């Protein structure tokens, strides 16, 4: 792998200042082209405005409720220069939840756009100054500060420990937590990815993941800023617009999370799928099957990485990483896979000659970092912080297994673990198998309560255009999978038009678990573990309810 050494920077503010006088193209979007000097100057002007707007004694926090417009990276740079922190506000949140995110992070300034003003109507946002970027009033407000230079206006002294980001967890399983990221950690993360991925000055980073999420800022914007690479913005991710954007902007690098790769693979194939300059994608949760499909179709290598959103653990992929593995622990990390109940290390993974995991129940556990780690805590959430730091370790909340050579394999989230007939299963392991079925574009696996005890396996399948769910075809596919354990086949299959996702393209399993098999979509089921699939009819559903009621477990499904 090509590596590049970059001059170290202690803060993001220093990285922005380095771009002063750089006349190369630094930022592009539809209708906008800015040099890096323009970017640094724009950030300096906004930093000066921010210093004027923030009340004395208030936390130097601003909320940013924007699509991926040029204003987003300009305000990131402004916050860095001023010694302030940006709370990325998720535009898919609504009402009290949206207000809670803004108030909880103590934002006294909120930067937004006209399209999102209806979301703010009627919300209790005391003492919050709202700036609307696509208005004449905003331009007039900025005008007096157009001559500002980087470093002239600060609200607090800037150093590596200065808070830079307050970015929320996805919120797919509960109220989102605002993780803290300092300027020093963001600068180090950007430099690390430049070296690891061989980012060059002549690269163009295409940012299509939402910038309120850590992935776009930490893995896309920050390494571009460190290397002096260009940045191209897409307001919102679009599978159909992906390749046209890549060609228009000359993009060479992008990041992804969740199901974005599946959405791209679901687009109609074209003869010119390889006619572009894209060379690398970096992200998580694409899976080995879709990674291979993406490389075959588009000629682009995807590097699957792992980094805890909060920064407590990282895994680096090396050239000798086996197929299906994520990589080894990053230097300095003392990672272990442990049984969450006992804290004991799990057994090393054993595989068949075909690469099938043979001892999943004993090998799969939670990934923890037993050594020093850069986790900087959650904003005003000591309970969640303590949960992450139990027994002096950092608990990632993610399931892994580890082979004898120390390579780690992702097995899902702790919340996505199923217990079937007293055996622990990981949803991600089953999903990776179902991803091979060519009739479907995506699969989500989750637990539904067993009528007696434990869980049953349920899967939601999004079918390819023009394909229907044919039970016999699905059953033949399942029988052909050598690594599908006897307790892994889904007992229920929900056929959906599209998998429900969070704003960051991660599967919203909470909604799937909540609906279980009582939903408006077609559901197929196997009345016994060995029978074939048949439609879940109203009569069958009534019989199931009677069974659950006889075990006093009906309230787990019919709430």
Give the span between the Cα atoms of 285 and 261, in whole angstroms.
9
Kindly indicate the confidence band of residue 506, based on its pLDDT and cuts at 50, 70 and 90. confident
Task: Say what the pLDDT of residue 99 is.
Answer: 94
- Superfamily (CATH H level) for 12-236: ANL, N-terminal domain (3.40.50.12780)
Percentage of the chain with pLDDT > 90? 70
Give yes or no on whether 12-236 and 421-556 have one common fold.
Answer: no
For residue 156, the tally of other CB atoms under 10 A from its CB is 15
Give the pair of three-digit tokens for residue 287: 């899976």
Can you give the C-alpha Rg of the chain in angstroms?
24
265-274, 306-315, 405-414, range with greatest mean pLDDT? 265-274
At 461, list the tokens: 């399948």
**Domain boundary assignment for the chain:** 12-236, 325-416, 421-556
Average pLDDT over every residue of 44-71: 97
The mean pLDDT value for 198-209 works out to 96
pTM across the whole model = 0.80
Domain 325-416 annotated CATH 2.30.38.10: yes
pLDDT at 287: 73
| pLDDT of res. 173 | 42
From residue 421, alpha-carbon distances to 167, 361, 457 in Å are: 39, 12, 11
pLDDT surpasses 80 at 356? no
Which of 96-105, 145-154, 293-302, 543-552 is the least confident region? 543-552
The 3-state DSSP class for residue 240 equals: coil
At residue 422, the pLDDT reads: 60
pLDDT for position 3: 41
pLDDT of residue 45: 98
Contact residues for 455 (Cβ-Cβ < 8 A; gap 6+): 418, 419, 420, 447, 448, 449
Predicted confidence (pLDDT) at residue 480 exceeds the cutoff of 90: yes
Report which of residues 352 and 48 the model is more confident about: 48
What is the DSSP track for 416-454?
GEEEETTEEEEHHHHHHHHTT-TTEEEEEEEEEE-SSSS
Please state the rounded mean pLDDT for residues 343-349. Answer: 95
Model confidence at 8, pLDDT cuts 50, 70, 90, reads low
Q: How far is CA 162 from CA 42, 86, 287, 444, in A?
A: 21, 12, 36, 39
Classified by CATH at the fold level, domain 421-556 comes out as GMP Synthetase; Chain A, domain 3 (3.30.300)
Q: Helix, strand, coil: what percent of the chain each, to 5?
A: 30, 25, 45
Better-scored residue on pLDDT, 256 or 333: 256
Mean pLDDT (the chain, rounded): 91
Confidence of residue 171 (pLDDT cuts 50, 70, 90): very low
Say if residue 377's pLDDT is above 70: yes
Compute the average pLDDT of residues 522-541.
Answer: 95
Q: What is the pLDDT at residue 4?
A: 46
The DSSP result for 153-193, as a single string, is --SS---TTSEEEEEE---SSSS--EEEEEHHHHHHHHHHH
- Give 328 or 277, the one with higher predicted confidence: 277
Average pLDDT for 449-462: 89
pLDDT at 175 (0 to 100): 64
Which helix H or strand E contains 282, and what residues bound it?
Answer: strand 280-283
Each as own residue / partner, the long-range contacts of residues 378-383 (CB below 8 Å, 24 or more positions apart, any chain) are: 378/177, 378/178, 378/179, 378/180, 378/310, 379/104, 379/105, 379/166, 379/178, 379/179, 379/180, 380/104, 380/178, 381/177, 381/178
- pLDDT band at residue 412, thresholds of 50, 70 and 90? confident
d(CA 542, CA 194): 58
Please report which confidence band the pLDDT of residue 1 belongs to, taking 50, 70 and 90 as the band edges: very low
Regarding predicted confidence, which is higher, 465 or 75? Answer: 75
pLDDT value of residue 172? 41
């Amino acid at each position: 792998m090509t590596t590049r050494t970059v001059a170290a920077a202690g803060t993001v503010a220093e990285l922005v200042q380095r771009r002063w006088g750089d006349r190369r193209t630094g930022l592009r979007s539809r209708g906008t082209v800015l040099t890096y000097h323009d970017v640094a100057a724009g950030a300096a002007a906004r930093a000066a405005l921010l210093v004027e707007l923030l009340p004395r004694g208030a936390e130097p926090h601003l909320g940013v409720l924007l699509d991926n417009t040029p204003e987003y990276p300009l305000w990131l740079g402004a916050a860095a220069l001023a010694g302030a922190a940006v709370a990325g506000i998720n535009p898919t949140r609504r009402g009290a939840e949206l207000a809670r995110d803004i108030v909880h992070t103590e934002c006294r300034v909120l930067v937004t756009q006209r399209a999102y003003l209806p979301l703010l109507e009627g919300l209790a946002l005391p003492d919050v100054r709202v700036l609307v970027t696509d208005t004449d009033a905003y331009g007039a407000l900025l005008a007096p500060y157009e001559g500002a230079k980087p470093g002239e206006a600060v609200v607090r002294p800037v150093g590596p420990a200065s808070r830079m980001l307050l970015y929320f967890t996805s919120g797919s399983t509960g109220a989102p937590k605002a993780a803290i990221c300092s300027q020093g950690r963001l600068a180090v993360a950007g430099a690390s990815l430049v070296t690891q991925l061989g980012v060059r000055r002549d690269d163009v980073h295409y940012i299509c993941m939402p910038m309120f999420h850590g992935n776009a800022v930490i893995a896309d914007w920050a390494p571009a800023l460190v290397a002096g690479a260009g940045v191209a913005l897409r307001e919102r991710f679009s599978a159909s617009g992906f390749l046209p954007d890549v060609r228009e902007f000359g993009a060479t690098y992008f990041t992804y999370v969740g199901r974005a790769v599946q959405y791209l693979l679901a687009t109609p194939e074209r003869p010119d799928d390889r006619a572009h300059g894209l060379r690398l994608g970096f992200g998580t949760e694409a899976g080995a099957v879709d990674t291979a499909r993406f490389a075959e179709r588009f000629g682009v290598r995807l590097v699957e990485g792992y980094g805890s959103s909060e920064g407590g653990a990282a895994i680096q992929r090396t050239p000798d990483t086996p197929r299906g593995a994520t990589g080894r622990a990053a230097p300095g990390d003392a990672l272990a896979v442990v049984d969450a109940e006992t804290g004991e290390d799990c057994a090393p993974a054993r595989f068949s000659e075909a690469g099938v995991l043979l001892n999943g129940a004993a090998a799969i556990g939670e990934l923890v970092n037993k050594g020093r780690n850069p986790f900087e805590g959650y904003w005003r959430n000591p309970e969640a912080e303590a949960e992450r730091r139990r027994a002096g370790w950092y608990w990632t909340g993610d399931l892994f297994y580890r082979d004898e050579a120390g390579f780690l394999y992702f097995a899902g989230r702790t919340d996505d673990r199923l217990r079937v007939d007293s055996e622990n299963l990981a949803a991600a392991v089953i999903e990776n198998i179902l991803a091979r079925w060519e009739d479907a574009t995506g699969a989500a696996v989750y637990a539904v309560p067993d009528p007696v005890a434990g869980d049953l396996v349920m899967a939601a399948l999004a079918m390819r255009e023009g394909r229907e769910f044919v039970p016999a075809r699905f059953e033949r596919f399942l029988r052909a999978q050598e690594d599908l354990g006897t307790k892994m086949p889904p007992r229920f299959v929900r056929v959906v038009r599209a998998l429900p996702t969070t704003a960051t393209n991660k599967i919203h399993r909470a909604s799937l678990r909540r609906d279980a098999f009582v939903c408006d979509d077609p559901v197929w089921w196997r009345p016994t573990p060995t029978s074939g699939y048949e439609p879940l009819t109203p009569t069958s559903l009534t019989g199931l309810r009677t069974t659950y009621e006889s075990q006093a477990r009906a309230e787990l499904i019919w709430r």
